[in-house]
Chain A
Amino acid sequence: MSGFRLPAGGAVDRGRPLAFTFDGKPYLGFRGDSIASALLANGVRVVGRSFKYHRPRGVWGAWTEEPNAIVDVTRRGRTTPNLRATVEALDNDLAVRSVNALPTAAADRVALLDRLSAFMPAGFYYKTFLWPRWETFELAIRAMAGLGRVDPDNQPHGDNPQFNARCDMLVVGGGPAGLAAANAAARSGRAVFLLDDRADIGGQLVHRGGSIEGGDWRDWAASVTAAVEANGGRVMTSTTAYGVYDHRLVSAWERSGTLPDALWRIRPKTIIVAAGAVERPLVVPDNDRPGVMSADAALVYLRRFAVLVGKRIAIATNNDSAYPVADALSEAGAEVELFDLRPDAPPTTLRVVRGAEIEGVAGASGVEGVRIGGQTRAVDTVLLSGGWTPTVHLYAQARGKLRYDEALAALVPNVEVEGVRVAGAANGAFNLDEALRQGHAAGGGQGAPPNAPSGQYRVTAAWPKPDAPGRRWIDFQNDVTLKDVALAAREGYVSVEHLKRYTTLGMATDQGKTSNINGLAAMAALTGRSIDETGTTTYRPPFVPVPMGVIAGRRRGALISPLKRLPLEAEHRADGAQMREYGGWLRPAWYGPDDPGRAIQREAARARDAVALFDGSSLGKIEIIGPDAATLADFSSYNRLSNLKPGKVRYGFLLQESGIVFDDGVTLRLAEDRFLVSCSSGHTDSVVTRLELWRQDRFDPRRVVIHDTTAQWATLTLTGPRARDLVAALDLGAALDDDSLPHMAFTPAAFDGAPLRITRVSFTGDRSYELSAPARRARALRARIVEKLPAFGGGLLGLEALMILRAEKGFIVVGKDTDGTTMPHDLGIAGPRDSRKDEYIGKRSLFTPAANDKGRKQFVGLTVAQGETALSTGAHVIEGAGRARRSMGYVTSSYVSPTLGAPVALGLVANGFARMGQTVGVYHLGAERRATIAPAVALDPEGKRLHA
């Protein structure tokens, strides 16, 4: 038993006790407690086990800097891992579990690891990777590594709101400097956002107290928040500004407690970083014992929570800030003795040993004494105050640079960053009056700053000495000792960035808030460099761990990348469509509840035998309009389009400037000055972009415009030998004989008084009619078609069956049957390259030596022996055997054709056109098969079905 609750004082509500458990044992705390303060009040000392050696650890700090008290918290059956006990508010029925401890923090079976510490030096993982065998140890190491346990049932709702805000000034930190800045800015009429990550305003004033403007600081602070709110600003507590990003965007995480946490994206004209400072430990031997704590934290526990952390307390320090702590603890009834490194320590009425360094901390599972002058003095608590480290994270994230200030023994801001100012303890102003002065100036205040008694802060640097004996912890969270830093230096990891990665110093949930400066100072001493020369690691967001759900907000699940929806989705679903994503569109994959394989085969067979309806509404419908439409169409396309007659349709490619096939599709010439580009469903946006870029770059934008009408039109396609009969039965008022409407032509028609276009193009190889109607008329058109289908033996056709039909005909899907090397002549279409004299996108690339290499992968079919199963898509086409075996390409598409009663496959194979009829190996997942290279067109090579 060490810490205990005082009968009075603190900001806890003694009338509202809260029951909780820690590692299974029941305890009581009060409303207003943090988990850490409640544990300390109950005399719990060991709150966790260290990451590497499983050493027992106690609470070090009182806020976000906490390296040791990391806990999993179960609330209403849901566990959240790796929370800091010092930050989390206590609540009723919390089950708190220590992390990295088997089974509990107090009795950890793996603690003997500590005795093996000589075998786990810095870079332990890296060394084990190399020798003797990582695999031998991997399972055991993985089982012991890591902190909390993830609860798979804890899946928060995607309801974290996200807000965007602008303001004149964002003040981060509600301590004296932040309040002074907000005061000055608000009173000159500026809109100020004042943020503090605690639930209250005041910062250090809350536990250290102070008099401002001649009265209690709380009265002055209340007048400041009133001024902020009266001038269009906002005071936000429990809100952590955790990152500064480009163009001065600040992200903040707001916790209201009752509502879901929120993300704020704030764009201030000016940022004031008044984030305070963090007390760091002295690097004395065994400074990681439970019961060793930050001196400032002990004062926080006393004043905020009325918890006295010990009865016999030794305070080791090198600076003046420990003295008010000593006075307060003594006043509260503790027996206090100070050990000040400085021979000229300030006067005090308490016992003090001047010019003294603690030589060790005794007590394996908790502090029992301190060694000084070769003797052990019995104490139950050791407070360390090694000076203050300014919280400069946001300034540094905004590209601020630091310098080492000898007098303050701290890294402080050194350069001006546009739009960012640092004030108060974050800027090395550790006295109240100086903090107020800096804040007032940073806020643009005129006249005298808020008045406070002048203070004094003196410190003598006490950086770790490289040759100091004993085990001295620098980073508690990652178990990095002074010797580890020395080893890293010997092994050449002298850059602080290397030091961090090699030893893990400054990593994990606390990001070295208490340890980084001691680590880099040790490295400086080890390498004979100054602290400035040694430098710091890069400061990156987030300042504290932020829940992923807050960052994601509502962009989760289906909303991460919203799908495009067909205007007829409801009708498809009503007919039993199984919807799947294709190129960003949600489209019917097949229909009915049947086994998908059977349903797909049935749909494909019916389309060949009779007629089938599929929804082609997602195909791009991009119009090129104007007197220069034909020249833009020509330049954009591999195939010439200017000689296409109005009313006709042409298939072709769009190339990239690199000559690679970018998209394929048909283009309709609607009129002399008007084309309609029907590109792939997934490429519409990029084709529009590409046409726009070239239009604006190369053409007179007044003479040609691009208009994307994809969303305005629905396209219903009928394909199969009875397609014409069915279209005729729809009464669309257009002549359908092959002279009036031949393949690759279109005709206007009408449906219930609305315009309709009938286009004869075919992605199946069968006679096909695309009926394009305004999207709002599509439902009625589809209903009439579906009503007529049974009379013609027809049915619905999903995308999967359509893929079989097009593969039987050797029709490509760009990006599936082509890759990042495929040029049009690799697909057997070399005509435009050989004949076109004018410029078009990608032209020059088709004439390079690489474009005409003999070994290019070319588009072919692949057949297998009768009775064999389909090849695997992605399987390698190979030649040679054993070690000489090499890939010549791969299978791009593979299906079973119900019409041919055999598998059909397409592939890209090196020099494939010249290998027609050759037998090759096909390798997939360890098995090798044989296949024969064949023409890509497996069904109806003469194309008779188009006109049947």
Chain B
Amino acid sequence: MQIFPCPFCGPRDETEFHYVGEPKARPEPAEAVSDAEWSAYLHLNANPKGASREVWLHMTCLESFLMTRDTATNAVLGSEPFTRAAS
């Protein structure tokens, strides 16, 4: 059983978390996106061995965040809230 650090709640049991996916930019507008680009967005993942940056959701506080894990050892290398570009 793994312990994941929620940036808002601290270390919590893995059963409280939901894996969302790799961080990706959503290609849009739809009219300007090719089939290949869209297919890559939907289905292609880097799936690295080693350090992997992933989006997770802490289901008890409902905040999503970025976590970096080593996919070979399951070691957690860090977690951070999303930062927003100034708009």
Interface residues of A (CB under 8 A from B): 245-247, 249, 265, 267, 399, 657-658, 688-689, 692-693, 696-698, 700, 706, 839, 843-845, 847-849
Contacts and interface: CB of A to CB of B under 8 A. Distances in A.
B74 A247 contact: yes
Given A688-B62, A693-B64, A844 B57 contact: no
Nearest to A840: B30
Given A249-B1, A693-B20, A693-B64, A839 B28 contact: yes
Given A696-B64, A839-B29, 13 more contacts: A245-B1, A249-B1, A265-B1, A657-B42, A689-B62, A693-B57, A697-B82, A698-B26, A700-B84, A700-B87, A839-B30, A844-B30, A849-B35
B67 to A, nearest CB: 13
A839 B32 CA distance: 12
Contacts of A845: 38, 42
Contacts of A658: 42
A658 B30 CA distance: 13
Given A688-B62, A693-B64, A399 B42 contact: no
B63 interface: yes
B3 interface: yes
Contacts of B33: 844
Nearest to B82: A696
B2 interface: yes
A249 B1 CA distance: 6
Contacts of A848: 35, 38
Contacts of B73: 399
Most buried by B among A249, A265, A697, A698: A697
Contacts of A692: 57, 62, 64
Contacts of A700: 84, 87
B81 to A, nearest CB: 9
Contact of B38 (A265, A697, A706, A844): A844
26 contacts: A246-B1, A246-B2, A247-B2, A247-B74, A247-B76, A249-B1, A267-B3, A399-B73, A657-B41, A657-B42, A688-B62, A689-B57, A689-B62, A692-B57, A692-B62, A693-B20, A693-B57, A696-B82, A697-B64, A697-B82, A700-B84, A706-B62, A844-B27, A844-B28, A844-B30, A845-B42
Nearest to A701: B84
Interface string B76-87: 100000101001
Contacts of A399: 73
Given A839-B29, A844-B30, A246 B57 contact: no
B57 to A, nearest CB: 6
Contacts of B35: 848-849
A688 B59 CA distance: 10
A551 B29 CA distance: 51
A17 to B, nearest CB: 46
A154 B31 CA distance: 64
Interface string B1-37: 1110000000000000010100000111110010100
A849 B63 CA distance: 36
Given A247-B74, A696-B63, A689 B42 contact: no
Given A839-B30, A845-B42, A247 B1 contact: yes
Task: Please provide the 10 A-B residue pairs with the shortest distance between their CB atoms, ordered closest to farther.
Answer: A844-B30, A843-B30, A246-B2, A246-B74, A844-B38, A249-B1, A247-B2, A692-B62, A247-B3, A696-B64
User: For B1, B3, B29, B57, which residue has the most chain A Cβ atoms within 10 angstroms?
Assistant: B1
Nearest to B21: A693
Nearest to A248: B3
A71 to B, nearest CB: 34
Contacts of B64: 692-693, 696-697
Nearest to B59: A689
Contacts of B20: 693
Question: Which of B28, B64, B82 has most chain A Cβ within 10 Å?
Answer: B64
Q: Which of A267, A693, A706 has the most CB of B within 10 A?
A: A693
B18 to A, nearest CB: 7
A689 B87 CA distance: 25
Contacts of A706: 62
Contacts of A246: 1-2, 74
A399 B27 CA distance: 41
Contacts of A688: 62
A697 B1 CA distance: 28
Nearest to A249: B1
Contacts of B29: 839
Contacts of B84: 700
A176 to B, nearest CB: 32
Most buried by B among A265, A844, A849: A844
B76 to A, nearest CB: 8
A701 to B, nearest CB: 9
A663 B44 CA distance: 25
Contacts of B3: 247, 267
Which of A245, A247, A688, A689 lies at the interface centre, i.e. has the most chain B CB atoms within 10 A of its CB?
A247
A689 B21 CA distance: 14
A682 to B, nearest CB: 17
Contacts of B87: 700
A267 B84 CA distance: 36
B58 to A, nearest CB: 10
A689 B17 CA distance: 12
A692 B27 CA distance: 20
B59 to A, nearest CB: 7
Given A246-B2, A247-B74, A696-B82, A689 B30 contact: no
Contacts of B42: 657-658, 845
A640 B45 CA distance: 31
Nearest to B30: A844
Contacts of A696: 63-64, 82
Nearest to A693: B64
A844 B26 CA distance: 11
Contacts of A843: 30
A847 B30 contact: yes
Nearest to A849: B35
Nearest to B62: A692
